[in-house]
């Protein structure tokens, strides 16, 4: 179609009372009204004998508009080159967070929606003010604030996730009843995501995860995905301190927490941890390691870890430990307490009762104690054979 023809069509369409709103992919040029995904055409009564011709030209114009787009059509009508395309990555500056929170109670739905979006874009800096808004008297604002926090909680930015999660946890613990219930529901509805993130945070802080066989589990190893995590060990490499224990609270499926001497874990935080994970067994150990599992009374060896101190000293499954460093052993806990008094590398005499040829015999041994880091290095090895 030539430029002159296009202009003629424009003039004809204006004269016929044609109105176009929106855009569409397909066009119907019949009589009456045509609609398709936001597009509407309407024409009034026409008395000219050339009515069908004008409609045909109008349809041609619409087809040109649909196929080429309004920008290309403008380029045909104007000798000037079209403007460069606008980048899709537009950074929209947000207003102050306090002002945006005030907009959450606006009477206009559009203003509330815009404020919600801008608060989400504001990132981690908006989390604490949103938490304060959730504790306010306006229930609608509180609900919208928690809604924004939930969107932030499932974001990909770890800083935003951490900030929103901390605020949501605070609302669960000390927020108004209704808000606390809503915040708890948010956390519980994303429990799998919450567990995975907590495992990753604890691992980055130096925590060591183990399975039921005491083998180290690496959550980032594809071959180990799906392996149930039973125990968390906090030892020499733990950099989280008391503050990092809040991530452990989120591991509601954890069954055992092993805290090695020297790790900063106050009784206050440990008590809070027990309250958050009631089924969790918390055990404290010294830095030295023997490398066995045993029944309590009598202290009879149940398992010997291959390559560790007990295995190297010749301790076997079924041995009953009678003495450790010259002290009589009544139960396993007493043995654990005595090991706490020693350091890795110490050579300690031991006495065990062993069945040899059907007879009970007393055997004297000397063991060189390991550190808990040793068990992590040897965890890939299976237990020693009986």
Tokens representing 56 are: 């045909």
Distance CA 227, CA 253 (A): 13
- DSSP notation for 94-134: PPPHHHHHHHTT-S-HHHHHHHHHHHHHHGGGGHHHHHHHH
Q: Where on the phi/psi map is residue 326: left (φ > 0), alpha (ψ -120 to 50), or beta? A: left
Convert the pLDDT of each residue in 140-165 to its tens digit. 999 999 999 999 999 888 889 889 99
Mean pLDDT of the chain: 78
Query: Does the pLDDT of residue 132 top 90, yes or no?
Result: yes
Alpha carbons 243 and 230: distance in angstroms, whole number: 22
Q: Give tens-digit pLDDT for 247-267.
A: 898 888 889 999 999 898 888
Lowest mean pLDDT, pick from 156-160, 221-225, 272-276: 221-225
Average pLDDT value for residue range 56-73: 42
Give CATH 2.30.42.10 domain extents, the chain.
288-377
Q: Give the closest residue to 370 by CA, choosing from 321, 295, 304, 278.
A: 304
Q: Residue 217 pLDDT more than 80?
A: yes
Mean pLDDT of 48-67: 44
The closest alpha carbon to 309, from 339, 282, 337, 280, belongs to: 339
In DSSP notation, 197-209 reads HHHHHHHHTT-EE
Q: For 55-69, 90-104, 187-201, 251-265, which range has the lowest pLDDT when averaged over its residues?
A: 55-69
CB 369 within 8 A of CB 285: no
* CATH entry 3.40.50.620 includes domain 288-377: no
pLDDT digits over 169-203, tens only? 999 989 999 999 999 999 988 888 888 888 988 99
Confidence check: pLDDT of 111 > 60:
yes
User: Which CATH code fits 97-189?
Assistant: 1.25.10
Q: What are the residue ranges of CATH 1.25.10 in the chain?
A: 97-189
Rg (CA), the chain: 36
Whether the CB-CB separation of 228 and 211 falls below 8 Å is answered with yes
DSSP of 37-64, one letter per residue? TTEEEE-----STTHHHHHHHHHHHHHH
């Amino acid at each position: 179609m030539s430029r002159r023809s296009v202009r003629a069509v424009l003039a004809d369409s204006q004269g016929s009372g044609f109105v176009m709103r929106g855009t569409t992919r397909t066009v119907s040029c019949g009589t009456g009204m045509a609609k398709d995904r936001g597009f509407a055409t309407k024409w009034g009564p026409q008395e000219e004998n050339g009515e069908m011709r004008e409609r045909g030209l109008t349809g041609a114009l619409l087809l040109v508009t649909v196929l080429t787009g309004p920008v290309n059509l403008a380029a045909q009508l104007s000798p000037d080159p079209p403007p460069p395309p606008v980048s899709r990555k537009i950074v929209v500056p947000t207003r102050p967070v306090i002002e945006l929170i005030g907009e959450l109670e606006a009477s206009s739905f559009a203003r509330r929606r815009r404020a919600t979006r801008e608060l989400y874009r504001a990132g981690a800096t908006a989390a604490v003010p949103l938490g304060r808004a959730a504790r306010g008297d306006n229930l609608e604002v509180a609900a919208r604030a928690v809604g924004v926090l939930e969107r932030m909680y499932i974001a990909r930015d770890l800083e935003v996730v951490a900030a929103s999660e901390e605020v949501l946890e605070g609302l669960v613990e000390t927020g108004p009843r209704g808000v606390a219930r809503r915040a708890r529901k948010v956390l519980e509805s994303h429990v799998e995501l919450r567990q995975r993130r907590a495992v990753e945070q604890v691992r980055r802080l130096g925590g060591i995860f183990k399975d039921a066989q005491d083998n180290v589990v690496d959550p980032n190893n594809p071959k180990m995905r799906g392996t149930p995590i039973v125990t968390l060990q906090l030892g020499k490499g733990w950099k989280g301190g008391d503050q990092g224990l809040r991530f452990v609270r989120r591991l509601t499926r954890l069954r055992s927490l092993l805290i090695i001497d020297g790790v900063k874990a106050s009784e206050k935080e440990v008590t809070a941890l027990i309250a958050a994970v009631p089924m969790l067994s918390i055990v404290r150990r010294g830095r030295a390691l023997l490398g066995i599992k045993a029944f309590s009374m009598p202290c009879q060896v149940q398992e010997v870890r291959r390559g560790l101190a007990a295995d190297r000293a010749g301790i076997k499954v079924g041995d009953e430990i009678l003495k450790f460093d010259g002290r009589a052993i009544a139960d396993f806990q007493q043995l654990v307490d005595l090991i706490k008094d020693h350091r890795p590398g110490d050579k300690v005499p031991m006495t065990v009762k062993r069945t040899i040829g059907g007879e009970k015999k007393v055997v004297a041994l000397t063991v060189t104690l390991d550190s808990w880091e040793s068990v992590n290095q040897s965890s890939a090895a299976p237990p020693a054979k009986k």
